[in-house]
């Protein structure tokens, strides 16, 4: 786990220094409203931010700071990176969780119906919908939803954060892509499980079909789904970047985009690290839930 | 977390009740502070006709308060504005500088009524009487000194930019401030005619994000990364703000900005996407206004690199180009066909007096034949950040091909573009210029003077340069740069630009415009060439 974090941080550090564009000049130009900064100003900036030193030394310095809980200060915003992230995290988490909720609400029932009615109309319909959902670019769906639900029906505000109503459209935009993936997964996983002999056994005991499907089949079918959903949570944070821009939600994604364009290195590095931590933690949480869903899985390896 | 509510300390109670009665005179006082030039932006309404959005001389005195919401693409609560209590002076009119900039890009006395150079390196500014801060206190010289100290200490580049060190701003008496520049700096007044150099009250709070300025609107509520809500300041020195409440919302995505306007969530949206302009204009309910900015786009010819050192070839490129075609097609009519490298909105652009190179392919062909051009491919460089840059370059490439001139287009990453230009490698360069302050002088000085930023390196190393014609033009630019007299400045710069265009140092393309979309009810937007300097004092929403 720690290895992943170290790897991620080294990689972002290197990538940043490989991207063309001098942060000193870019930041100063932005701060000065587009005028070209003088060479002295650029040199002074490099000196004060330590950008003249060799990259490995800069990296070690940064890691030392991070280990002491200091994510440094944004070049452009002149605010501690940790403050920026803490300010922005609620909007993103809210969106990711809501997106996830939308995805699961759509995907699990559709996937089950699809599997149970395999090869019939509901199956084809849901498969088609899933295909559309996967193929549709996030930002485009966002605009479509705005035009239909905000402009024409007047149900939701176009953009911004606030009450539940401003969360609905972004959550649908974000969740739809994931819903499509999960639907297909639930379907295939259910089909596999429905072929198992213990399902035949359950049926032959005379259990009602509903109990067979929801109690015996679904529970087993959900194991791979949970894995993917856990992994997908990380990707939701990715998708949030675009959705946050379209719906003007001040979250981590919007912050990341701004920082990359501004060559605001401390913010990019800090954010990538935080996102990596979230990834690692969700994966860990996924491992833990296995045990709850399927008691046969254990971490000791012998008590099965 | 950083949200906070700023209360109007003195006027909160009085405001609401007294507003309706005061509002009657709002339109009359306007906000231009004695502008004699009519407001010049053009409004295209749904049926294509033009209406005048004039505000500066308001005959319309029926203001009755109301509220408006303005969508900006920039975030006025960004951390860089902590020095001003966390709210940007750009666009918001909360804080004001000593000097404002007029429709003609002239310096407009604002919090300072007068200024003069008392020696090569000292300036004396006289402050306006009875200007009140939002906390009710009068503006005095000490506040100006304090405000400059804040800026000089906050931004490491500020002393170099303003040519003023911390400690060299002094209050002579209650209404007189003296600035000592670190070297002779004739464009000092224009340089500080900039939103970023605003005057604030020392009681403003960084921690609680409470700005205190002198503008027509004062901050009521600031929500980090989302919006700044302001209310009209009844004791404003330059007219009474027409609105009770004015909100600035951050909407970074251009499409979402336009959709928010269509939905009625905001009343004004800056810079909607070009592709939606027509829709916004023909839709019921919204219209689009374009306003000339102090920016221009042109092709620069490196006159020291063969074969571009031949004026005939440079003139040929000018005769091969149709500015109006470029503006109509590629720029979708956003922008104005140019005759020179300096935006028409700047009073010394010499637009009227410059030679016109009407498109004439035959004449261009003939000039190419007479020139020293031998068929080699010219290197045409542009930045990847240049809006519509590649399309413009391709159109030009095609025209130049027709007159027998080969052009290779090379797109350079913005961060290394300036360096490529200064190295003198390219033959042709797609340039764009602009300014955020009243000192547009640098547009001509840095580009066309031998010691300007662009030419300096090669001039010092090899005695050449890029765009500098030499002695005669240098002297004209120098004279215009040195003088504080606007008429003399105009005359000198115009002569310099005439020489530059006769010698065809550049191929002009367009003067830039920016776009503002608004609900039909909105009137009296006082747009300025510098969009960040838009005045909102007279804004009406017709509700």
- Is A77 in Cβ contact with B78 (below 8 Å)? yes
The residue in chain B having the minimum alpha-carbon distance to the alpha carbon of residue A160 is: B226
CB contact under 8 A, B1 and A79: no
Cβ contacts of A76 on chain B, cutoff 8 Å:
78-80
Domain end among B168, B199, B230: B199
Q: pLDDT-derived band of residue B64, with 50, 70 and 90 as boundaries?
A: low
Residue B406 lies in a domain: yes
- Of all residues in chain B, the one with the smallest CA distance to A45 is B156
Residues B281 and B233 in one domain: yes
Question: Confidence band (pLDDT; 50, 70, 90) for A63?
Answer: confident
Are B191 and B316 in a shared domain? Answer: no
Q: Which of A197-201, B252-256, B263-267 has the lowest mean pLDDT?
A: A197-201
pLDDT digits (tens, 9 = 90+) for B319-347: 999 999 999 999 989 999 999 999 999 99
**For residue B251, which residues of chain A lie inside 8 Å, CB to CB?**
159, 248
Tokens of A122: 């509901």
Closest to A9 (Cα-Cα) out of A52, A53, A66: A66
- Write down the pTM of the prediction: 0.81
Whether residue B64 contacts residue B313, with contact meaning beta carbons closer than 8 Å, is answered with: no
Rounded Cα–Cα distance for residues B5 and A180 (Å): 44
Are residues B301 and B449 part of one domain? yes
- How many of the other CB atoms lie within 10 Å of CB of A179? 26
CATH of the domain at B533: 3.40.190.10
Between A and B, how many CB-CB pairs are < 8 A?
A: 112
B377 plus B484 within the same structural domain: yes
Q: Does B95 have pLDDT greater than 60?
A: yes
Listed residue (B391, B400, B415, B329) closest to B367, CA to CA: B400
- pLDDT of A183 over the 70 cut: yes
Determine the average pLDDT of the residues in B410-415. Answer: 82
B123 and B177 together in one domain: yes
Split into its structural domains, chain B has a count of 3
Domain boundaries defined on chain A: 2-67, 87-293
**B39 plus B128 within the same structural domain:** no
Residue B236 belongs to what domain range? Answer: 1-78+219-285+520-543
Q: What percent of chain A has pLDDT over 90?
A: 10
**B116 and B260 co-located in one domain:** no
ipTM value, please give it.
0.78
Domain harbouring B155, CATH code: 3.90.76.10
Q: Is B418 on the interface with A (CB under 8 A)?
A: yes
For residue A78, the chain B residues in CB contact (below 8 A) are: 79-80, 82
Quick one: fold of A87-293? MetI-like fold (1.10.3720)
Nearest C-alpha of chain A: how many angstroms from B375? 34
User: In chain B, which residues have their Cβ closer than 8 Å to the Cβ of A159?
Assistant: 251, 253, 256, 259-260, 265
Residue B387: which pLDDT band, with cuts at 50, 70 and 90? confident
**Is residue B91 a part of any domain in this protein?**
no
Is residue B86 domain-resident? no
Same domain? For B227 and B279 the reply is yes
Residue-level pLDDT at B269: 96
* Interface touch A35/B436, C-beta < 8 Å: yes
CATH number, residue B318: 3.10.105.10
B248 and B313 both lie in a single domain: no
A18-42: burial string, b at 16+ Cβ within 10 Å, e else: eeeebbbbbbbbbbbbebbbeeebb
Residues B166 and B307 both lie in one domain: no
Kind plus residue range of the DSSP H or E element containing B43: strand B42-44
Q: Among B76, B163, B259, B265, which would you mutate to test the A interface (most chain A Cβ atoms within 10 Å of its Cβ)?
A: B259
Give contacts of A44 with chain B, Cβ < 8 Å: 156-157
Q: Which tokens is B428 given?
A: 């042709």
Q: pLDDT tens digit string along B284-301?
A: 789 999 999 999 999 999
Say whether pLDDT at B52 is over 50: no
Chain A interface includes B157 (CB < 8 A): yes
pLDDT tens for each residue of B459-491? 999 999 999 999 999 999 999 998 888 899 999
Question: Does the beta carbon of B79 lie under 8 angstroms from any beta carbon of chain A?
Answer: yes
Question: Is B411 part of any domain?
Answer: yes
| Shortest Cα distance, chain B CAs vs residue A239, angstroms | 16
Q: How far apart are the first and last CA of chain A?
A: 26
Highest mean pLDDT, choosing among A191-205, B2-16, B241-255, B409-423: B241-255
Q: Within a domain: residue B231?
A: yes
Do B350 and B417 belong together in one domain? yes
Q: How many CA atoms lie within 13 A of B63 on its CB side?
A: 33
Alpha-carbon span B269 to B280, nearest angstrom: 11
- B464 and B480 belong to one structural domain: yes
């Amino acid at each position: 786990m720690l290895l992943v974090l170290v790897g991620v941080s080294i990689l972002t550090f290197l990538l940043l220094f490989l991207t063309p564009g001098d942060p000193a000049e870019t930041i100063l130009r932005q701060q000065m409203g587009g005028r070209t900064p003088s060479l002295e100003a650029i040199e002074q900036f490099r000196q004060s931010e330590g950008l003249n030193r060799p990259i490995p030394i800069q990296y070690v310095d940064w890691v030392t700071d991070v280990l002491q809980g200091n994510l440094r200060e944004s070049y452009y915003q002149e605010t501690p990176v940790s403050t920026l992230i803490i300010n922005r995290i609620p909007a993103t988490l809210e969106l990711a969780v809501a997106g996830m909720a939308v995805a699961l609400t759509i995907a699990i029932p559709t996937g089950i119906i699809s599997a149970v009615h395999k090869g019939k109309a509901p199956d084809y319909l849901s498969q088609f919908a899933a295909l559309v959902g996967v193929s549709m670019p996030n930002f485009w769906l966002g605009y479509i939803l705005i035009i239909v639900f905000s402009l024409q029906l007047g149900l939701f505000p176009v953009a911004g954060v606030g009450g539940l109503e401003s969360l609905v459209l972004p959550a649908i935009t974000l969740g739809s892509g994931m819903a499509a993936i999960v639907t297909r997964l639930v379907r295939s996983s259910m089909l596999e499980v429905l072929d198992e002999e213990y399902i035949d056994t359950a049926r032959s005991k005379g259990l009602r079909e509903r109990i067979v499907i929801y109690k015996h089949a679904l529970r087993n079918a959900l194991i791979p789904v949970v894995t993917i959903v856990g992994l997908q949570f990380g990707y939701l944070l990715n998708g949030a970047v675009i959705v946050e821009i379209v719906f003007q939600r001040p979250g981590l994604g919007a912050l990341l985009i701004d920082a990359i364009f501004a060559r605001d290195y401390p913010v990019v590095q800090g954010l990538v690290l935080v996102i990596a931590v979230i990834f690692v933690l969700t994966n860990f949480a996924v491992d833990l839930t296995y045990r709850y869903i399927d008691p046969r899985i254990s971490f000791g390896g012998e008590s099965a | 977390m950083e949200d906070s509510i700023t209360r109007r300390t003195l006027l909160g109670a009085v405001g609401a009740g007294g507003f309706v009665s005061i509002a009657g005179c709002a339109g009359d006082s306007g906000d231009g502070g004695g502008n004699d030039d009519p407001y010049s932006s053009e409004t295209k309404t749904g049926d294509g006709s033009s209406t005048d959005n004039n505000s500066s001389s308001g005959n319309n005195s029926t203001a009755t308060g109301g509220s408006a919401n303005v969508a900006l693409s920039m975030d006025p609560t960004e951390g860089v504005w902590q020095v001003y209590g966390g709210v940007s002076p750009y666009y918001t009119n909360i804080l004001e500088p000593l000097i404002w900039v007029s429709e003609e890009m002239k310096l407009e006395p604002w919090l300072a009524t007068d200024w003069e150079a008392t020696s090569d390196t000292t300036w004396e500014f006289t402050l306006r009487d009875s200007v009140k801060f939002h906390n009710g206190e009068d503006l005095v010289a000490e506040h100006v000194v304090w405000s400059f100290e804040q800026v000089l200490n906050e931004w490491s580049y500020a002393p170099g930019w303003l040519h003023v060190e911390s400690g060299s701003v002094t209050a002579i008496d209650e209404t007189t401030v003296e600035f000592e520049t670190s070297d002779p700096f004739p464009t000092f007044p224009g340089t500080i005619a900039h939103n970023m150099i605003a005057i604030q009250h020392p009681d403003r709070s960084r921690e609680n994000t409470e700005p205190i300025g002198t503008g027509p609107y004062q901050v009521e509520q600031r929500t980090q990364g989302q919006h700044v809500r302001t209310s009209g300041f009844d004791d404003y020195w330059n007219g009474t703000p027409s609105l009770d409440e004015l909100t600035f919302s951050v909407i970074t995505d251009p499409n979402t900005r336009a959709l928010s306007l269509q939905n009625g969530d905001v009343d004004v949206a800056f810079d909607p996407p070009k592709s939606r302009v027509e829709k916004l204009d023909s839709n019921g309910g919204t219209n689009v206004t374009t306003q000339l900015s102090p920016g221009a786009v042109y092709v620069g010819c490196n006159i020291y690199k063969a074969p571009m050192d031949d004026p005939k070839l440079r003139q040929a490129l000018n005769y091969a180009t149709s500015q109006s075609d470029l503006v109509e097609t590629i720029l979708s009519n956003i922008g104005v066909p140019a005759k020179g490298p300096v935006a028409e909105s700047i009073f010394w652009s010499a637009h009227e007096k410059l030679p016109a190179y009407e498109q004439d392919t035959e004449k261009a062909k003939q000039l190419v034949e007479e020139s020293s051009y031998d068929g080699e491919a010219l290197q045409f460089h542009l930045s990847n950040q240049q809006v519509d840059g590649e399309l413009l370059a391709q159109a030009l490439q095609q025209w130049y091909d027709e007159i027998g001139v080969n052009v290779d287009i090379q797109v350079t990453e913005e961060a290394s573009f300036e360096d490529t230009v200064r190295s003198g490698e390219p033959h042709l360069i797609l340039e764009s210029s602009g300014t955020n302050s009243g000192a547009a002088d640098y547009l001509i000085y840095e580009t066309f003077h031998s010691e300007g930023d662009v030419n300096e390196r090669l001039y010092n190393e090899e005695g050449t340069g890029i765009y500098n014609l030499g002695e005669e033009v240098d002297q004209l630019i120098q004279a215009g740069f040195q003088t504080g007299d606007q008429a003399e400045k105009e005359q000198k710069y115009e002569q310099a630009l005439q020489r530059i265009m006769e010698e065809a140092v550049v191929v002009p393309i367009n003067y830039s415009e920016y776009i503002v979309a608004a609900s039909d009810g909105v009137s009296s937007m006082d747009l300025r060439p510098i969009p960040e300097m838009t005045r909102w004092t007279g804004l009406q929403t017709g509700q």
